Structure 1
Amino acid sequence: MKYYFLLFILFANCFFGLSQEKEKDTITYLNEVIIYNPIRANKTLGITQSTIIRENAFQNHSPIDLASSINQISGVYLLSGALNTNRITIRGVGARTPFGTDKLRLYFMDIPVTNGSGFSTIEAFDLENLNSMEVIKGPKGTAYGTNLGGAILLKPKEQYAKGTFFTNNFTVGSYGLIKDNLSIAHNTDSLEFNLSYNHLNTDGYRENNNFNRNGILLTTAIKLSSRNSIGILANYIDYTAQIPSSLGITAFTENPRQAAFTWKQAKGFESNKYTLLGLSYSYKISSRLENTTSLFYSYLDHYEPRPFNILDEFTNSYGFRSLFKGNFRFEDREASYLFGGELYKDEYNWRTFENLYEENNGNGSLQGNELSRNKEYRRQFNAFASLTLPLSNKFNMQLGVNVNKTHYDYRDLFNSGEDNKSAKRSFDPIVMPSLDLIYSISPGRQLYANISRGFSNPGLEETLTPEGVINPEITQEKGMNYELGTKMYLAKNKLWLNLAVFRMNINDLLVSQRIGEDQFVGKNAGSTKHQGIELDMNYTFDLSPKLQIIPFASYTLSDHIFVDFVDGDNDYSGNPLTGVPRNRINLGLRLNHSKNFYWNTTYQYVDGIPLTDANSLYSEPYNLLNTRLGYNKEISENLYISSDFGINNIFDVNYAQSVLINAVGFGGAEPRYYYPGNDRNFYISLGLKYHL
């Protein structure tokens, strides 16, 4: 770890030298290219080191390319097997999860949308409906669950200008891509109304890879008076996605477009209907204290025929979140605080059935006899508070704490008598403190240090023994995060730089072991050390009053290892953590001409990923180059048009956009480690905006 701190000191010295330049008293923040990190942002929410990417940063990539948009951020890596198969890891946390995203909290408009077992489905939200995505790396955000991976906060688009606006963006592209996003926005002094409809259909790059989604999003804010307002949220998504699944090395090399044999034979797919409803009330109690309380409900209906069985499930979720924010005078300076609580409850029902696809004359999946029927009640409660004290004009201290209580109640509705496996598991309350120290060198330049504690709950499969009974020995992962960083504007505010070095020690590591084609169990198997360097930066060159060039870059060094990990007769202690590339680089160049034309070109390098705990197999490193051009034009006082054209994977690289670690081959088949990424592909968009 010594060389990380030496590097940090070296950079800090450089910044101190540069900070001697004469500056204005105020700062003009740069346009957001990749990230936007205003120094004073989000202090009232207890976050001092978050990363925000905004709407125009999403324009670097295709409107369906969620992975590339997120992977612009250092320390954050989204592995995408398909549009409906995504796994987000933050600083290596969650990399060992076989499928999906866990060990972080996902919020939409400050409403938790991570389910009761800790899984998040970011693909349920349309990228074109988002105004920004804020990422909290590690357990620093005491108001957002303090999970070891951190939290992701999604904010929908808002219409700031007064009036009524109709907007439509239509996209076509390779693999039969058709996407349309239609929205209506109305904004007055007392009402903000946003309604959007989105449709997406694509055949996909691979066999058995069609994706069809329709969605409606409604957000409304009603100002009742100068002191109180009401917000309404309704989000509905209906999508069906075929599943080509992963490939072995032979199939991946010879024909990456093919689907896994059994998934193709079964015509495997998943169908989801997801509804999210929210109602929030904000009240300004006094000039120094306000409260926002939200009630929410969600429903997910999921049906998924797989070669080994058919899964039929539905989940009802509900809860509330209440947040008090205030400020007070502290030694002639302004101090702030917050406190609140969040209750999330869900009822998860699932059944499995035989899949008789082999007896269905080549017509795909056919539901047979019931194999299991289960229900689980899950409950999480988070209480949180933070206090920000200005100890001097340049030095702030922030203290935070989160307390979590988790309970699982598992019901076996299929078996009776001695074969019944119903059981309950209630985890002890866990306290997660956080300390931030922030020093402002000068306006727009700060150094910070953070020490925080976090945790991760075991998922559903991880709580069960191989016999399907709740394991009373399984416990939560717990870890301590240590971080130093700097956020600075330099060179007359043209250069934005964000540098962090960190180390996180995680104990009681949760390890999922595959014991069957569709059966995983978990155990606490040791400890890991996550450490690394994260760098994000961009620079603005004003070549003329109308021409601007902005190079941007991010770099991630992930030096994550197993400290103590013994699995049976195998000792993996000292090995690099499975599922995480050591080096990742994202580079880009954006050219803006006036307000009408832009051209983005982005480059991504991903290092080889260890695919087995023994580190006996790595994925191949890869390089990707994408480009996108856009043009905007005001046709009349009220009508605007825009067009975009993009090319992904310009050099037609065969690469794995996602991997499955510790894959096991069944029946003598090759282990299937690889999810192929798309080959060279194109898209073109046409947008219209009309202002009444």
Structure 2
Amino acid sequence: MKKTYLATAVAALFATSITSAIAADTLLDDVVVSSSRSEQRSFDAPASIQSVNREVIQDSGPQVNMSEALNKVPGVVALNRQNYAQDLQISIRGFGARTAFGVRGVRIIADGIPATIPDGQGQSSTVSLTSTDRIEVLRGPLAQLYGNSAGGVIQTFTREAPEKPELMAQGHFGSYDTYRTDWQYADKIGQFGLVADYSTFKTDGFRQNSQTERNQFNGKLTYQHNDQTKIDVIANIFDMPYAYDPAGLSQADAMATPEKSNNTARQRKIIKQSQIGTVLTHSLDGVSKITARLYGGNRENTHYNAATAWVGLDRDYYGLGISYSTKSKVLGKETAWIVGFDFDKSTEVNQAGSSTNGEKTSTLTRNEDRLAQNRDFYAQASMQLNEKWSMLGGARSTEVKLSSSGLGGYTGAPIGSLGDVSFNATNPVLGLTFHAQDNMNIYANYGRGVETPTLAEMSYDSSLNNTFNTNLKASKSDHYEAGMKWLPNNRSRLDVAAFYVKSSDEIITATSSSGKTAFTNSPGGTTRKGLELAYQNQFVPAMKFNFTGTLIDAEFNDGFTYSSFGTKTVSAGNKIPGIPNGMMLSSLQWSSTDFNRNKYRQILGTLATLEWFAAGELHGRDTNDQIYKAGGYSGYNFRLAHRLDVNRITWTAYTQANNLTDKKYMGSVIVGNSTPFEPAPGRNWMVGLNATARF
């Protein structure tokens, strides 16, 4: 992707920014909590942070994948693999791009409870989007205050119960025999509030051998004891009885027959997860506040990754955290403080064995007991120096322990400790904000981060032998950013951020074969530098324009070689695999009612959205071979919705058409794989109907 694309888009959006004030809801209404752990407008937050509200989540699609909404946030790459056995491929400023499954390098938090275990590996599929009120994304140095593998932080928040009962039912149907249903009940009775949501999803998939079924329950019970004390209890059950894995394709096959599967063995994954947690918020005196969380859960995961083999785990996890925040004067300056402690622990029995006709046999080839645990302390303070300047500083002390022990159970099986390792780091963060005008903030931040290897990344040595690879080091990084937030008027907003990240001991793929992947550390450093832009403008009462763009240059600073089934050479300047050199999304929305809302704050009438998306090239290997390189692409999506009130029921009909020009392109790549390409679907469609009754 050429950089002139972004320059042209910037010029176009400024051409539309000369507008008159429009009497409607202002763009200042977004409330976030991520950056400073206290409620404030994202405009005032001294960091790169965006909030995606319920309206955008609902209008973006059937609410199956977080990628539907996250593609509207700059700096975030959320690729739908069209492979529900491996989850989305999410990265923020290039962190997390190497993952072959799940989410790594990016922390996910749902209702204050981590969806990322202590080693840095998490899941996005367990987040219930149908009951999510908003998604907040924090990028850059301040994210380092959230601990290990915080290349960025994604937080989701379940909606609050309404004052009057609501019953919602919705269904979607689309290409590839895709079905989506959701039922939700929400009500408040006295001091108690309830949101209960159950959703189903089933598809035959765009590609062969990609059939999937998922069922999910998310419930939130709130007890408002008084004005000072609130307790939330959140329960989540995720059941995926099957998700077939079509596997990656070669470059030639991906272009010629993108619907093809490279999975002759009908690989599939089965997941069951249940979790419950509680969050207590207690205000001591109107200034000081205590927040505490306690949670626990279980996850069972079985992956049949070959005709005669399977891998799986049975994981129990739990954790607690407590923080204290207050405000005081320091050196005569208003200062907000917060100190806290987090403890999280995950234990799992990790096994592998043989299978026959897609079912387990009694023969094991791996049987280990693994542990991941963190113990963190953090402190953060923000000070208003004067009317024009404010400062933020903080630090987090992180201790992560990983270990594995053999349990026996098969001939020659090890018994006892296979190794343990501890990673310790104290990471500071410092930021400065210049409040140039009431409608303009300029900020600069620095932070140091750490990313430990995950238990899965330590599973094999470079020859793909079963082991616990304690030779892997944690990657360390220094993050710098500078940004500006500007509100030209009450209907337009511009966010710009430039970033530079320098890392050492980058964890990279050493070799991958037959479902096994070994990792090593890059002997040289890496850099990630880029520019992010987000712009919103309602330039006439009935029309809105949105644009997000990211340019990123992520490369190895030094050349090196390593041996893995032959010598591999990485030249200085090679691009870090899995990171597109650019991502852009722009949309033009028209409303038949000038974006007027009903009393439930939903836009009435017809809403039409035309969307243009584009992405730059990315590499599948750190050697940057052309045969493992995916080219850039662009395309169009169109969505149409109509909403009306009939008595006490709000009806909404949806339709969407994706990839209007039927473009062939690579949706994602599996980093380090010999057949890394995961093609995106051609032209496809979805229709839906939502009915929300209020009593």
TM-score (norm 2): 0.88
Instruction: Give the Cα–Cα distance (whole angstroms) in 2 for the partners of residues 579 and 377 of structure 1.
Output: 28
Match of residue 55 from structure 1: 54
Match of residue 599 from structure 2: none
Match of residue 89 from structure 1: 91
Tell me which amino acid in the other structure corresponds to 1:291: I
Match of residue 288 from structure 2: 289
2:551 paired with 1:554: no
2:499 paired with 1:502: yes
Instruction: Give the Cα–Cα distance (whole angstroms) in 1 for the partners of residues 39 and 471 of structure 2.
Output: 36
Tell me which amino acid in the other structure corresponds to 1:625: Y
Q: Which residues of 2 match residues 566-585 of structure 1 at below 5 A?
A: 566-568=560-562, 570-585=569-584
2:622 paired with 1:613: yes
C-alpha deviation, 1:428, in angstroms: 4.2
C-alpha deviation, 1:404, in angstroms: 0.5
Match of residue 650 from structure 1: 660
Match of residue 277 from structure 1: 276
Whether the 8 Å contact between 1:138 and 1:147 is mirrored in structure 2 is: no
| CA gap 1:109/1:616 in 2 versus in 1, 3 angstroms | same
Match of residue 685 from structure 1: 688
Whether the 8 Å contact between 1:118 and 1:457 is mirrored in structure 2 is: yes
Tell me which amino acid in the other structure corresponds to 2:354: E
C-alpha deviation, 1:214, in angstroms: 1.1
| CA gap 1:330/1:366 in 2 versus in 1, 3 angstroms | closer
Instruction: Give the Cα–Cα distance (whole angstroms) in 2 for the partners of residues 41 and 371 of structure 1.
Output: 45
Instruction: Give the Cα–Cα distance (whole angstroms) in 2 for the partners of residues 581 and 228 of structure 1.
Output: 46
Q: Which residues of 2 match residues 513-532 of structure 1 at below 5 A?
A: 513-514=510-511, 516-525=513-522, 526-532=524-530
| CA gap 1:172/1:428 in 2 versus in 1, 3 angstroms | closer
Match of residue 668 from structure 1: none
Bigger drift between 56-65 and 393-402 goes to 56-65
Determine helix, strand or coil for the equivalent of 1:63.
Answer: coil
Match of residue 163 from structure 1: 164
Match of residue 642 from structure 2: 631
Q: Which residues of 2 match residues 212-231 of structure 1 at below 5 A?
A: 212-231=213-232
Q: 1:32-67, CA deviations, whole angstroms, 9 ceiling, x for partnerless residues?
A: 8xxx57799856379632221112222134433532
Match of residue 669 from structure 1: none
2:534 paired with 1:536: yes
1:257 to 256, 259, 280: 259
Structure 2: stretches of 5+ with no match in the other structure: 594-603
| CA gap 1:227/1:43 in 2 versus in 1, 3 angstroms | closer
C-alpha deviation, 1:537, in angstroms: 0.5
Q: Which residues of 2 match residues 4-15 of structure 1 at below 5 A?
A: none
2:673 paired with 1:674: no
Match of residue 439 from structure 2: 444
Bigger drift between 438-447 and 553-562 goes to 438-447
C-alpha deviation, 1:605, in angstroms: 0.6
Tell me which amino acid in the other structure corresponds to 1:213: R
Whether the 8 Å contact between 1:180 and 1:200 is mirrored in structure 2 is: yes
Bigger drift between 224-233 and 211-220 goes to 224-233
Instruction: Give the Cα–Cα distance (whole angstroms) in 1 for the partners of residues 399 and 538 of structure 2.
Output: 47
Tell me which amino acid in the other structure corresponds to 2:136: E
| CA gap 1:148/1:232 in 2 versus in 1, 3 angstroms | closer
| CA gap 1:549/1:28 in 2 versus in 1, 3 angstroms | closer
Whether the 8 Å contact between 1:513 and 1:522 is mirrored in structure 2 is: yes
Match of residue 243 from structure 1: 245
Aligned length: 654
Tell me which amino acid in the other structure corresponds to 1:128: T
Determine helix, strand or coil for the equivalent of 1:288.
Answer: coil
Instruction: Give the Cα–Cα distance (whole angstroms) in 2 for the partners of residues 482 and 183 of structure 1.
Output: 43
Bigger drift between 381-390 and 109-118 goes to 109-118
Tell me which amino acid in the other structure corresponds to 1:576: K
Q: 1:194-226, CA deviations, whole angstroms, 9 ceiling, x for partnerless residues?
A: 011111111111111111111111101101123
Instruction: Give the Cα–Cα distance (whole angstroms) in 1 for the partners of residues 277 and 451 of structure 2.
Output: 26
TM-score (norm 1): 0.89
Instruction: Give the Cα–Cα distance (whole angstroms) in 2 for the partners of residues 334 and 43 of structure 1.
Output: 17
| CA gap 1:123/1:105 in 2 versus in 1, 3 angstroms | same
C-alpha deviation, 1:314, in angstroms: 0.9
Match of residue 493 from structure 1: 490
Q: Which residues of 2 match residues 463-474 of structure 1 at below 5 A?
A: 463-464=458-459, 465-466=461-462, 467-474=465-472
Determine helix, strand or coil for the equivalent of 2:142.
Answer: coil
Q: Which residues of 2 match residues 353-372 of structure 1 at below 5 A?
A: 353-357=353-357, 364=358, 367=361, 369-372=363-366
2:432 paired with 1:409: no
2:381 paired with 1:387: yes
Q: 1:275-308, CA deviations, whole angstroms, 9 ceiling, x for partnerless residues?
A: 1100222222222111111110011011111116
C-alpha deviation, 1:241, in angstroms: 1.1
Q: 1:481-501, CA deviations, whole angstroms, 9 ceiling, x for partnerless residues?
A: 0100011111x2222111000
Match of residue 338 from structure 2: 338
Instruction: Give the Cα–Cα distance (whole angstroms) in 2 for the partners of residues 342 and 126 of structure 1.
Output: 24
What root-mean-square deviation, in Å, do the aligned CA atoms of Structure 1 and Structure 2 show?
2.9
C-alpha deviation, 1:23, in angstroms: 10
Instruction: Give the Cα–Cα distance (whole angstroms) in 1 for the partners of residues 160 and 206 of structure 2.
Output: 34
2:665 paired with 1:662: no
Instruction: Give the Cα–Cα distance (whole angstroms) in 2 for the partners of residues 631 and 119 of structure 1.
Output: 40
| CA gap 1:600/1:42 in 2 versus in 1, 3 angstroms | farther
Match of residue 604 from structure 1: 613
Tell me which amino acid in the other structure corresponds to 1:680: R
1:476 to 474, 477, 481: 474
Bigger drift between 338-347 and 416-425 goes to 416-425
Instruction: Give the Cα–Cα distance (whole angstroms) in 2 for the partners of residues 27 and 598 of structure 1.
Output: 17
Whether the 8 Å contact between 1:97 and 1:512 is mirrored in structure 2 is: no
| CA gap 1:417/1:65 in 2 versus in 1, 3 angstroms | closer
Whether the 8 Å contact between 1:330 and 1:390 is mirrored in structure 2 is: no
Tell me which amino acid in the other structure corresponds to 1:503: Y
Instruction: Give the Cα–Cα distance (whole angstroms) in 2 for the partners of residues 41 and 394 of structure 1.
Output: 20
Structure 1: stretches of 5+ with no match in the other structure: 358-363, 665-671
Bigger drift between 479-488 and 52-61 goes to 52-61
Whether the 8 Å contact between 1:111 and 1:321 is mirrored in structure 2 is: no
C-alpha deviation, 1:242, in angstroms: 1.3
